[in-house]
Structure 1
Amino acid sequence: MSRQAAGDAAPPPGADEVTLVARAQDGDLAAFEQLVDRYESRLLGLCIRMLHQNADAEDIVQDTFLTTWRRLDSLQDPAAFKAWIFRLASNGCLDFLRRKQVRRTDTVDPADMVEQSATGASVEHRAEASAAVDELDRVLATLPPEQRLVWLLYEVEGQSYAEIAEVLRLTEGSVRGRIHRARIAIVEGMKAWA
């Protein structure tokens, strides 16, 4: 990778993603930093929900960005960046879970999973919402990691079946099937909250 020439201007804050990726591929660190800013919190949220441990999730995200920077020149289609970076983070989570066979004794701080409601919510309402999030977290932890990942990408990240299929290199039918099975397990696990 060549390094950005000293006279090159930094990309504008609203630059489109393809432009940022192309500039980062040419060694523009400011463009790469903008990509990190765009994806860091989303990847961290996904990894926390997958691993249930903030420190491990932060490590996976950091490794994802290091790998991204090192291998950015291997990305042939800058428009595929989103799928590629989510694939790297997803694979990092799945590999971690396979290696460690993590026991789900550490719970996720509910504040990490749900944005706090606007001021004025009653203590009872916040406690109930927190308990529901804890229960959802418990149910999600019982899902096979591949199902949990697909459900999180769809329901939390808002990715389409096609995007998830691209990220995980699955067919759209496989994505639909995993989401369907995850939903059934979640509904069954959350019956007490219905």
Structure 2
Amino acid sequence: MQQAEEELLVLAAQDGDNRAFQRLFQRYQSALLRYGYKVSGDPQIAQDGTQEAWFRLARNIRQLDDPKAFKSWMYQLVHWSCIDLLKKTSGSELQLDQSDVVPEVSDNKSEQQESLNAAINRLPALEKQMIHLFYLEEMSVRQVAQVLRISEGTVKSRLNRARRLLKERFDV
């Protein structure tokens, strides 16, 4: 979906167009579920957190001032909905997902791909989330910062650190 088309859909959804909202839902639902799982490590929490995020989004979409911020706003809603559910269900400190950030690929993947996946898996949880959002979800530094509620400078430095760690571990 083109950025301009997405912005038009957001504006239409803000005006009460249910079909526009449904198209946004269809476009992002599976990616948001995957991200919810990356945050929580639990498929049920990912499902519930994503559903809660869509409810919040539907209730508050008119409050979004800039349609360009829609994607990062959605990811932020999923992120914090899943974290809230984790806190409620665990009753303890948040345990971030340690699973792969890189999607699974077929058995014939190269040794380089396997080495890269292993190196990414050894990154700290926050850096893995940033790699996921920045490279796989193709978010900007600003969007990643909004989702994770950290400064853009922190995102840049942590992404740089993650790339440096990958370079060292991957022997690039």
- Tell whether the structures are fold-level matches, with TM greater than 0.5: yes
Give unpaired runs (5+ residues) of structure 1: 1-14, 118-122
> 1:137 and 1:180, CA in 2 relative to 1: closer, same or farther beyond 3 A?
closer
Which secondary structure state, in structure 2, belongs to the residue aligned with residue 16 of structure 1? helix
Partner of 2:136 in structure 1? Answer: 156
Q: Aligned equivalents of 1:129 and 1:45: distance in 2?
A: 24
Partner of 1:54 in structure 2? Answer: 43
TM-score by length of 2: 0.72
| CA RMSD, Structure 1 to Structure 2 (Å) | 3.5
Tell me which amino acid in the other structure corresponds to 2:5.
D
Equivalent position to 2:145, from 161, 165, 169: 165
Equivalent position to 2:19, from 30, 50, 53: 30
Q: Aligned equivalents of 1:155 and 1:61: distance in 2?
A: 21
Aligned 8 A contact 1:45 1:113 in 2: no
> 1:153 and 1:134, CA in 2 relative to 1: closer, same or farther beyond 3 A?
closer
Aligned 8 A contact 1:47 1:61 in 2: yes
Q: Aligned equivalents of 2:86 and 2:164: distance in 1?
A: 23
Q: After superposition, where does 1:165-184 map in structure 2 within 5 Å?
A: 165-183=145-163
Q: Does 1:77 align with 2:75?
A: no
Partner of 1:92 in structure 2? Answer: 81
Q: After superposition, where does 1:64-143 map in structure 2 within 5 Å?
A: 64-99=53-88, 100=90, 101=93, 114=103, 116-117=105-106, 125=108, 135=118, 138-140=121-123, 143=124
Q: Deviations over 1:2-47 (max 9, x none)?
A: xxxxxxxxxxxxx811221122122221111100111112212222
Q: Which has the larger radius of gyration?
A: 1
> 1:127 and 1:166, CA in 2 relative to 1: closer, same or farther beyond 3 A?
closer
TM-score by length of 1: 0.65
> 1:134 and 1:33, CA in 2 relative to 1: closer, same or farther beyond 3 A?
same
Q: After superposition, where does 1:35-46 map in structure 2 within 5 Å?
A: 35-46=24-35
Aligned 8 A contact 1:139 1:186 in 2: no
Partner of 1:16 in structure 2? Answer: 5
Tell me which amino acid in the other structure corresponds to 1:139.
R
Q: Aligned equivalents of 1:136 and 1:52: distance in 2?
A: 19
Which secondary structure state, in structure 1, belongs to the residue aligned with residue 65 of structure 2? coil
> 1:19 and 1:45, CA in 2 relative to 1: closer, same or farther beyond 3 A?
same
Q: Does 1:147 align with 2:130?
A: no
Aligned 8 A contact 1:90 1:149 in 2: no
Partner of 1:4 in structure 2? Answer: none
Q: How many pairs were matched up?
A: 166
Of all paired residues, the percent bearing the same amino acid is 31
- In the TM superposition, what is the alpha-carbon distance from 1:176 to its structure 2 partner? 1.2
> 1:184 and 1:91, CA in 2 relative to 1: closer, same or farther beyond 3 A?
farther
- In the TM superposition, what is the alpha-carbon distance from 1:88 to its structure 2 partner? 1.1
